[in-house]
């Protein structure tokens, strides 16, 4: 018959462990985590148990088991390698109505120790018919799914409150952080950017309200003030709101403005950093933004306004004369004037350039050029946003890697 599963609250209660070997060594830490007062009865103990005894976390009676040792215990673990001793312990426990776990005989055991895992406040316990290896495998799968949010574990009574600013990464849905995935699974409302990983949105439960806060270049766009208002409004209604962004919330993501808007209204904010595309997209295309002996600095620049525009705060002359890598965002539509400005300010026309469209996605494609040819080549290839432009000698590293790989192919 299947066991009746309970969660025993052992804090302050005496638990007896008979045996001091490897099985006891595995069982004792979980009992201590539950707050149990653990006594080990065994002539000898392992080094790991000895360490716990030395610091006073475990009481050790260095002798064999004797009848009467179970008095006052709420639970006993029979963990010796002597079947006769385990049988005697179990018999005393049965007579005194104390639950006993036998490590040597699952059929004769009154209780089973489950394979246990914990994610935040969620405890997972799997028995699998008393098969410990099978139980551990199932436990690991469930714990992993809870950690990455693929199991819907939304809280019913103690759900999060306020707003979470979550960086969704550069595009590939598997590149969101574990913490971001967990919070997304708890959301009542999701306010999503155009560049947020869309596949994750398809996994949301039907009762989650999804708000499209897309900002399409030269197209429809939700004003930032309206986004701020929606975050505040829904949070004040007691809903947990996830603001899902592409990349990182604080790297050209206007996350700081949203955090300030919530702070002014007394709304708590959780910030979850994301893998930022200025580093991740070049890496996905095989280009390191820094490389020993080539570039020991890199500059990330938003070109949402072009060089020469009065609203621009970018020091283009300084960038042109830098030996570092330039990573340009929102630059494809202005690549002509950008290249012209860098050339006029002294950058070599032979400087390598790579343009990566749809970085980390299945549709990713890359274009190689030089500073003097990049504008023409981008137009001819029909490269469109979202795309990252990398300027500098590190582009050659990626090309070198490609050549080495090609030479090694039989």
d(CA 52, CA 25): 10
Q: Are 149 and 184 in contact (CB under 8 A)?
A: yes
Sign of CA pseudo-dihedral 278, 280, 282, 288: positive
> Residues 34-38: contacts with CB within 8 Å, 24+ apart?
34/8, 34/9, 34/10, 35/9, 35/10, 35/11, 36/10, 36/11, 36/75, 37/12, 37/13
Catalytic residue among 193, 245, 248, 358: 193
The b-or-e profile of 206-216 (16+ CB within 10 A means b, else e) is eebeebebeee
* Residue 408: alpha-carbon gap to chain centroid: 35
**Residue 215 is a catalytic residue:** yes
d(CA 197, CA 62): 59
Provide CB contacts within 8 A for 172, sequence distance 6+. Answer: 197, 360, 361
**Residue 96 is a catalytic residue:** no
Catalytic residue among 215, 239, 393, 396: 215
Q: Are 27 and 87 in contact (CB under 8 A)?
A: no
Dihedral-angle region of residue 19 (phi above 0 means left; psi in -120 to 50 means alpha; beta otherwise) = left
Closest by alpha carbon to 282, among 374, 381, 380, 389?
389
Cβ neighbours around 410 below 10 Å, total = 2
Catalytic residue set: 193, 215
């Amino acid at each position: 018959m299947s066991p009746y599963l309970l969660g025993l609250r052992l804090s302050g209660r005496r638990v007896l462990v008979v045996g001091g070997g490897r099985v006891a060594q595995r069982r004792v830490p979980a009992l201590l985590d539950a707050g149990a007062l653990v006594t080990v009865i065994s002539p000898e103990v392992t080094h790991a148990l000895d360490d716990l005894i030395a610091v006073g976390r475990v009481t050790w009676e260095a002798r064999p088991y004797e009848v009467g040792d179970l008095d006052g215990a709420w639970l006993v673990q029979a963990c010796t390698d002597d079947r006769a001793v385990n049988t005697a312990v179990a018999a005393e426990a049965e007579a005194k109505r104390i639950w006993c776990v036998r490590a040597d005989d699952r059929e004769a055991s009154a209780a089973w120790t489950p394979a246990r895992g914990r994610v935040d406040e969620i405890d997972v316990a799997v028995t699998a018919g008393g098969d410990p290896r099978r139980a551990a495998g199932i436990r690991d799968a469930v714990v992993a799914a809870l950690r990455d949010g693929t199991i819907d574990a939304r809280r019913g009574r103690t759900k999060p409150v306020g707003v979470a600013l979550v960086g969704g990464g550069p595009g590939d849905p598997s590149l969101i952080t574990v913490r971001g995935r967990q919070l997304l699974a708890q959301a009542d409302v999701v306010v999503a950017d155009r560049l947020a990983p869309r596949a994750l949105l398809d996994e949301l439960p039907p009762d989650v309200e999804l708000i499209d806060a897309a900002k399409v270049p030269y197209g429809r766009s939700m004003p930032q003030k309206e986004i701020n208002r929606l975050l505040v409004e829904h949070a004040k209604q007691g809903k947990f709101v996830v603001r899902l962004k592409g990349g990182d919330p604080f790297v050209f993501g206007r996350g700081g403005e949203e955090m300030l808007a919530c702070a002014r209204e007394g709304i708590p904010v959780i910030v979850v950093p994301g893998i930022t595309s200025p580093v991740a997209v070049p890496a996905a295309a095989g280009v390191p933004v820094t490389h020993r002996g080539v570039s020991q600095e890199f500059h990330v620049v938003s070109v949402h306004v072009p060089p020469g525009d009065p609203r621009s705060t970018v020091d283009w002359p300084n960038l042109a004369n830098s030996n570092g890598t330039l990573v340009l965002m929102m630059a494809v539509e202005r690549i002509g004037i950008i290249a012209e400005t860098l050339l006029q300010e002294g950058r070599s026309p032979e400087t390598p350039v790579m343009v990566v469209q749809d970085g980390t996605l299945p549709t990713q494609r890359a274009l190689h050029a030089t500073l003097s040819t990049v504008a023409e080549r981008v137009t001819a290839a029909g490269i469109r946003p979202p795309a990252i432009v990398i300027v500098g000698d590190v582009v050659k590293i990626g090309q070198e890697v490609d050549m080495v790989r090609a030479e090694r192919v039989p």
